[in-house]
Amino acid sequence: MFAGRNISATDGAIASARVMGICLQTGYAAGCLAAATALKLSMNDTIRQIQTEQL
């Protein structure tokens, strides 16, 4: 998973995808995925079994 402005899109679509709100959300999602993966590895759970409070 990558976060930030590294996407492939048309000129019109990239103009709206490069705003900071979108970059913030992709960064947050990447961080949550990294935390969930670390918890999964340490607890032998599936990603879906991890409670959001544990993140």
Task: Give the pLDDT of residue 4.
Answer: 65
Per-residue pLDDT of 28-55, as tens digits, reads: 888 888 888 887 767 676 767 777 776 6
Which helix (H) or strand (E) is 37 found in, with range? helix 20-43
Domain range summary for the chain, segments of one domain joined by +: 11-54
Reading the block at residue 52, the tokens are: 């959001």
Reading the block at residue 7, the tokens are: 């996407």
Euclidean distance between CA atoms 18 and 7, whole angstroms: 9
**Is 7 a residue whose pLDDT tops 70?**
yes
**Is 17 a residue whose pLDDT tops 80?**
no
More confident residue, 17 or 26: 26
Judge contact between 33 and 43, C-beta under 8 A: no
